[in-house]
Amino acid sequence: MVIIGSSELYAQAPIKFEVSFKEPQAHYVEVQMEIKDVSKDYIDVKMPVWAPGSYLVREFSKNVEGFRAKTVSGGELGVQKMTKNTWRITTGKEKTVLVNYRVYAFEVSVRTSFVDASHAFLSPTGIFMYPDGQVKRPAEVTIKPFKTWSRVSTGLTPVDQKQFTYTATDFDVLFDSPIEVGNQDVFNFTAAGVNHEVAMYGGGNYDKERLSADMAKIVESATAVFGENPNEHYVFIVHNYQSGGGGLEHLNSTVLGASRFAYGTENGYKSFLSLVAHEYFHLWNIKRLRPVTLGPFDYDKENYTTDLWIGEGFTAYYDNLLVRRAGFYTEDAYLQLLASDIAAVENRPGNLVQPLSESSFDAWIKYYRQDENSVNSIVSYYNKGALMAMMMDLKILKATNGEKGLDDVMKAAYNEFYKKRAKGFTDQEFKSIAEKVAGISLDDVYEMVNSASSPDYNKYLQLVGAELSDLNKGYEIPDLGIKTTISDGKLTVQNVYRGSGAWEGGLNVKDELIGINGYRIDIAGKELERTIQASKIEDVVKILVARDGVLKELDIKLGTNKSGKYLIKFIDNPLPEQSKLKDKWLH
Ligand SMILES: [Zn+2]
């Protein structure tokens, strides 16, 4: 049997899907898949294990049931499960195979599917299967909405004259195109020459006119960085919940989580615009301009990269910066957002344990699988990556006398790797192009990326006349070194910070805090707080805890509170050069 070239033979016959909803109230999706041009006596059908953009093996096949395969005339075909996510169909001489399965969908997130009587959100890697080795085949999807539903919103290409039928040139496109089905509130706006569709599920106090105008400003501001917008049509699928957040990027669409009544508050509204900016910026950075290992994807296992500090960190830098440039944040308010990134990095012992490049590589087992010790062992490639972007930006502005900045690096990299070479970049290739734009070495930034250290932020901030200060500096504040929570009606330890008195003295996560120096600790922890505040550094306190039902008294020597209270301000009398670079930076 000839295997080589078999995928080319299939290149033109689309895999057809029909998606329907017999029992949406019970959270089920019915999928029918038609595979034509079967050439072997068996075919393996697979479901992806992860959703690109969210670096965790999620085992979507756990939600599949009732997998059956038939001939076109209805004859049952043999099916054998080969791996957790592979079904082998014995096809005999059949050229066309019909597959049916159901998917249970009840996980609310931007990267998992959810169905109930009110709507269906289909996150494609957890819904659609693919014939093994044939992800380059085109696909066609027909949605049959539940009887009370009337709309479908997706970035897939609609087929003329066929309602709710869409095509994808291959499975990479299909897997990158989430689908919202229901009665969502849809509005449109045009910006940067692109038609934008906003599909709102879940209601809320948003003002469509205001959002259209403001989202258009974000789109224009993001497009200005790269100099072109590659889409004709772009879809925002927005899920409004009592309390929602987060987003997932796609080529010509995004899924955003929002809190339905946060649009009415100043902070809530601006945070939503930052989320819009973040996911929109991704349509270039990571979806098109990307690390070499992030595409084409292997849907069967982890895809490793050391560059999420660029893919996610730079995007996290630009999200607030674009909102600032579009005029929604004042310069001072923007500086405070940077200061909160610095606090998130510096007040985390894991910052001095895990280099950024490792944080990216191990995202699958660490960032996406956080536990009680993560604060001590990992650093976020979002916050710290954003700070790397800031320092690189300021350094380039200075080196080029304000002629160039990080925008020029992003544009040059997009043109070189996506448009010219049509492939992803290696670590070294991105560094080279950034240094070419900067005209100087960026070794200092890369040293910070590859080591677990605290950057000297002021070395870069002073280039634009800004200064970081720690309001806690100089104060010796006694500290136990724990974070508490109330669990099962008891005050318990949630985290123990590396190097603190609690760490040295052996307080454990999950210990119930009962007494301090012979006195009862109340559930709010007030007595604990009062006693520590009234103590001195190096005093020993006696903490009574219950650990797995056993009472223990521990002697804990108090240390100093090491967390900083960060503030960034512009200096009073900047040099003309500093003012000039600041204006280039923030406008
Ligand atoms: Zn992101």
pLDDT tens column, 204-245:
999 999 999 999 999 999 999 999 999 999 999 999 999 999
Calculate how far, in angstroms, residue 298's C-alpha sits from the geometric centre of ligand 1: 20
Contact between 512 and 561 (Cβ < 8 Å): no
Calculate how far, in angstroms, residue 89's C-alpha sits from the geometric centre of ligand 1: 38
Packing angle of the helix pair 383-399, 427-438 (nearest 10 deg): 30
Calculate how far, in angstroms, residue 340's C-alpha sits from the geometric centre of ligand 1: 18
In this prediction, residue 137 carries a pLDDT of 96
Calculate how far, in angstroms, residue 315's C-alpha sits from the geometric centre of ligand 1: 6
pLDDT band at 7, cuts 50/70/90? very low
* Cα 269 off chain centre by: 20
Calculate how far, in angstroms, residue 312's C-alpha sits from the geometric centre of ligand 1: 5
Calculate how far, in angstroms, residue 247's C-alpha sits from the geometric centre of ligand 1: 7
Calculate how far, in angstroms, residue 18's C-alpha sits from the geometric centre of ligand 1: 31
Calculate how far, in angstroms, residue 279's C-alpha sits from the geometric centre of ligand 1: 6
Question: Which has more confidence, 10 or 563?
Answer: 563
Calculate how far, in angstroms, residue 169's C-alpha sits from the geometric centre of ligand 1: 25
pLDDT band at 11, cuts 50/70/90? low
Mean pLDDT, all residues of the chain:
96
Tell me: pLDDT of 433 over 50.
yes
State which residues have CB under 5 angstroms from ligand 1, the bound ion: 312, 315
Tell me: pLDDT of 4 over 50.
no
Tell me: pLDDT of 9 over 90.
no
Quick one: what percent of the chain has pLDDT higher than 90? 97
Calculate how far, in angstroms, residue 575's C-alpha sits from the geometric centre of ligand 1: 36
Whether the pTM exceeds 0.85: the reply is yes
Contact between 258 and 270 (Cβ < 8 Å): no
The one-letter code for the residue type at 298 is: D
Calculate how far, in angstroms, residue 332's C-alpha sits from the geometric centre of ligand 1: 24
In this prediction, residue 93 carries a pLDDT of 87
Q: How many CB atoms lie within 10 A of CB 219?
A: 25
Cross-strand bridge partners of residue 139: 15, 168
Calculate how far, in angstroms, residue 171's C-alpha sits from the geometric centre of ligand 1: 22
Q: What would the two tokens of residue 177 be?
A: 């195109």
Calculate how far, in angstroms, residue 297's C-alpha sits from the geometric centre of ligand 1: 17
Tell me how far CA of residue 490 lies from CA of 487, 505, 525, in angstroms. Answer: 5, 21, 10
Q: Once rounded to an integer, what is the mean pLDDT over residues 540-568? A: 97
Query: Which residue has tokens 């959270």?
Result: 27
Contact between 568 and 338 (Cβ < 8 Å): yes
